[in-house]
Structure 1
Amino acid sequence: MRALHVITGLGVGGAEQQLRLLLRHLPVRCDVVTLTNPGAVADGLRADGVRVRDLGMRSNRDLGAVPRLARLIRRGSYDLVHTHLYRACVYGRIAARLAGTTVVSTEHSLGRAEIEGRPLTRGTRELYLRTERLGAATVAVSDTVAGRLRDWGVPAARIHTVPNGVDVAAFRFDRARRQTTRAALGLPGTAFVVGGVGRLVPGKRFDLLIRAVAALPGAWLVLAGDGPEAGALRALAARLGVAGRVRFLGECGAPGGAAPDIPAVLSAVDTFASASREESFGLAVVEALAAGLPVVHAACPAIEDLPADRAPGAVRIGSASGAGDPTEELTAALRHRMEGGARRLPPPPAVDHYDIRISSRRLLDVYAQALDTPTATPTVTPTERALP
């Protein structure tokens, strides 16, 4: 089987990194096309031996991207096209249909009111649903996302849950790596260090982590990631007088980058915090659990979709109603962790549930079913040919 993966961009992000990890474990010949931004993950894929092409899409309304992509699919004689992220799903589904190729799409980032961190609009939803019908299947990265797709009106028979996965062995705690990373980051050997990982965007609410650490004398914070909020978060740390206790690492794990990789960061910290307003999965939380860290989290379907005993080291803050002060709740939870002292936990059952090898096998089953199932041929109208 030959498959073409189409993704919106290949900068460092959760969906992008997940694609790279998946291709390492998927026993299928795969190429990748990025609509735009062939960033650090593109370099990583090429280092893994994957052929990556940049479609050079100039804007959201670059309609010429559709025939360019359709021609590329035809020339490659691919058995299946797999699309990732909103823009690639919309354009990729249309192009694959024009090329006469079966298409499967993964929904990575559908929240209650946002998609890929941007507010959902009626036009966004309508375009998504119209093009969704062009595919053979839609993959949800969590049961929570599967439920949101059903609520949107996607037929349940077309939805397949294939959770994001982690390479469990890569995150196993290493004491020597902890000491080396702490020294490299200038962290005191006995300091209590909180870790946070993700794109520095408003929805991740990293400002709450900075405020909580500011209220905990002696605590330090390490933030791994980059994004448009980086400047504002640095300014907040300075304003609260904790700039010296916060380490901003930027993008981690990029080939040739100076920052340590995420497993090294997780070895160096003592607890992990995720204050995201909403998530479609919560991969960073699972990685932290794999590293044996106690976790404090807000929205995290990866944990909430499982029985409570699958992740005993994870504590949830906040409520569905949004009542209470999230900064105070996070501060109290971190204070409790700090007073209890640094400790490592055995990776909980939730980690094995999300092993990347299991996810790859589940995805192969979706591919097999999609290739055996003929799809309807709805007409693509002109109103469906551009993003809102």
Structure 2
Amino acid sequence: MTENDALRVLSLYEGFFSGGARVLHSSVVAGLHSLGRQRHSVLSIHDEVRRESTLQRMTDDRRFRELRAAGVRITSLGRSTERDDPETFSEAELTVVARQVAGSQVVLSLKEQPLRLLDQPGIPERPVVACLHRSDPGRQGTALSHLLTAAHAGRLAAVVCCATSTRDAYRAAGVPAHLLHVVPNGVDLTRFRPLTRPRRLGLRGVHRLPADGTVVTYAARYDPMKAPELFVAAARRFLARDPRAHVVMCGAGMTSENPGLRADLHQAFADRPDLLARVRTLGVRHDMEKILAASDVVALTSTFGEAAPLCLIEGAMCGAVPVTTAVGDAARIVDGVGLVTTFEPDQIADAWVEAAARRDELGRAMVSARPRFSHVRMLSSYAGVVERARRGTGLTLASP
């Protein structure tokens, strides 16, 4: 197949910033582009975004660099959340959008928010595939209305849901059932894998972590959905029980510059600075596979909105036991390889202790589960959705 024969696919992004949905979608775009049957490009509304008390620039983002390295063309409207009205677009911006859409045969929307671009005057109609990664459509502002508008206008060819909880929530919100298609998340198993003991100990040394202590890693952005204050409260109890344990916090806003996190840490550790000394706040990382491979437990304390949290899969594939609250499809993801806990800090801390004690046992289960989480299966499913959207054959509701 020549480049001219490849299916032309345009992805719409709000921007390049930290988050599992962007990681997942970018890996799909890069993977499908490299296979040659589809030629992918990306249009980003913003080139810088302030989120979680962090200004995140497109060109600094790992996903941006990986897509460029894969040969994916990326353009931007050059917007900033610091200065631009999210609902109003200039004629010049709409000209760029119209040109990009006209050059494509299928449009993918990373989440439903960018669909507002397609409602603007003068934008050519193309089959649209919305790629959804949350389970709370009611909390997404006006985004749901844009999704429903696209569905009722006949522009929406398919909705890819990363979890059954996503499918069920959007079906209940009014998205036609025949459009909804579940494609479970997967990761690159050559990148996310356990390390030998010497390499693991070497990584712990780099990050000033003990060779023989339990390390719990929290990989999340600072957002109410992720309940960072709940994680910090559980960390206080966990560290008080085990004098050799350490906690690592990674993600946008997980730094001392974030006043929200500073307040959470102060509330939990004001009377115990010795415990706080065993909390590492590393912020946005571009080497999460190394951080997770050096950890014993990967923790999630979210209270709403999650669908198929990527951190649980990445952690498990690196040998860190996933421990999660029961949100979205999280319990389904960790079934047999991790633990599900309540929303009580003491019980969360207990679960981390249990997970660390069972790491060898659960480690064998995590190795056996690796094929279930391969991104190869995921790429094949996405490719089929996109190709059927172009042919207009439609999709039927997939079983989980």
TM superposition score category, shorter chain reference: 0.7 to 0.9
Q: 1:313 aligns with which of 317, 321, 337?
A: 337
- Which residue pairs with 1:384 in the alignment? none
1:1-388 residue pairs with structure 2 within 5 A? 1-26=7-32, 27=35, 28-36=38-46, 37=48, 38=58, 39-40=60-61, 41-57=63-79, 58-64=84-90, 65-74=93-102, 77-91=103-117, 93-94=118-119, 98-111=123-136, 113-115=138-140, 120=141, 123-133=142-152, 134-175=155-196, 176-215=198-237, 216-218=241-243, 219-227=245-253, 230-239=258-267, 240=269, 241=272, 242-253=275-286, 261-278=287-304, 279-305=306-332, 311-318=335-342, 326-338=344-356, 345-346=363-364, 347=366, 350-373=369-392
CA contact (8 A) 2:221 2:252 kept: yes
- CA deviation after TM superposition for structure 1 residue 231, in Å: 3.1
- CA deviation after TM superposition for structure 1 residue 237, in Å: 2.8
- CA deviation after TM superposition for structure 1 residue 198, in Å: 1.4
Inter-partner Cα distance in structure 2 for 1:342 and 1:349: 13
Inter-partner Cα distance in structure 2 for 1:206 and 1:196: 9
* More deviation, 270-279/214-223: 214-223
When residues 336 and 353 of structure 1 are mapped into structure 2, their CA distance, relative to the original with a 3 A threshold, is: closer
When residues 339 and 290 of structure 1 are mapped into structure 2, their CA distance, relative to the original with a 3 A threshold, is: closer
Deviations 1:282-321 (A, max 9, x none): 1110111111222210134444446xxx731211112xxx
Q: Residue type matched to 1:166 in 2?
A: V
Inter-partner Cα distance in structure 2 for 1:343 and 1:237: 33
Find the residue that maps to 2:282 and give its secondary structure.
strand
CA contact (8 A) 2:113 2:146 kept: no
Find the residue that maps to 2:194 and give its secondary structure.
coil
- Which residue pairs with 1:378 in the alignment? none
- CA deviation after TM superposition for structure 1 residue 207, in Å: 2.3
CA contact (8 A) 1:4 1:78 kept: yes
Inter-partner Cα distance in structure 2 for 1:96 and 1:135: 17
Find the residue that maps to 2:380 and give its secondary structure.
helix
CA contact (8 A) 1:143 1:305 kept: no
RMSD: 2.6
* More deviation, 40-49/166-175: 40-49
Q: Residue type matched to 1:214 in 2?
A: R
CA contact (8 A) 2:307 2:330 kept: no
- CA deviation after TM superposition for structure 1 residue 124, in Å: 4.6
Inter-partner Cα distance in structure 1 for 2:360 and 2:217: 13
* More deviation, 343-352/164-173: 343-352
Runs (5+) with no aligned partner, structure 2:
1-6, 49-57, 395-400
Please give the TM-score of this superposition, normalised by the length of structure 1: 0.82
Inter-partner Cα distance in structure 2 for 1:287 and 1:143: 19
Find the residue that maps to 1:296 and give its secondary structure.
strand
Find the residue that maps to 1:56 and give its secondary structure.
strand
- CA deviation after TM superposition for structure 1 residue 71, in Å: 2.3
When residues 59 and 44 of structure 1 are mapped into structure 2, their CA distance, relative to the original with a 3 A threshold, is: farther
- CA deviation after TM superposition for structure 1 residue 205, in Å: 1.6
- CA deviation after TM superposition for structure 1 residue 145, in Å: 0.4
CA contact (8 A) 2:13 2:114 kept: yes
Inter-partner Cα distance in structure 2 for 1:85 and 1:272: 25
CA contact (8 A) 1:90 1:131 kept: no
Identical columns (%): 23
- CA deviation after TM superposition for structure 1 residue 112, in Å: 6.2
Q: Residue type matched to 1:60 in 2?
A: P
Inter-partner Cα distance in structure 1 for 2:384 and 2:121: 20
Inter-partner Cα distance in structure 1 for 2:254 and 2:265: 16
* More deviation, 220-229/169-178: 220-229
- CA deviation after TM superposition for structure 1 residue 90, in Å: 2.7
Find the residue that maps to 1:273 and give its secondary structure.
strand
When residues 161 and 171 of structure 1 are mapped into structure 2, their CA distance, relative to the original with a 3 A threshold, is: same
CA contact (8 A) 1:222 1:248 kept: yes
CA contact (8 A) 2:296 2:319 kept: no
Q: Residue type matched to 2:12 in 1?
A: V
Inter-partner Cα distance in structure 2 for 1:203 and 1:177: 34
Inter-partner Cα distance in structure 1 for 2:168 and 2:95: 33
Runs (5+) with no aligned partner, structure 1:
254-260, 319-324, 376-388
- CA deviation after TM superposition for structure 1 residue 340, in Å: 5.5
Inter-partner Cα distance in structure 2 for 1:97 and 1:177: 56
Inter-partner Cα distance in structure 1 for 2:113 and 2:213: 43
Deviations 1:22-75 (A, max 9, x none): 12321321111111032513233223332211112432112334443112222x
Deviations 1:242-298 (A, max 9, x none): 321111111111xxxxxxx11100111111111111202111101111112222101
CA contact (8 A) 1:210 1:221 kept: no
- Which residue pairs with 1:379 in the alignment? none
Q: Residue type matched to 2:23 in 1?
A: Q
CA contact (8 A) 1:177 1:264 kept: no
Please give the TM-score of this superposition, normalised by the length of structure 2: 0.80
When residues 356 and 97 of structure 1 are mapped into structure 2, their CA distance, relative to the original with a 3 A threshold, is: farther
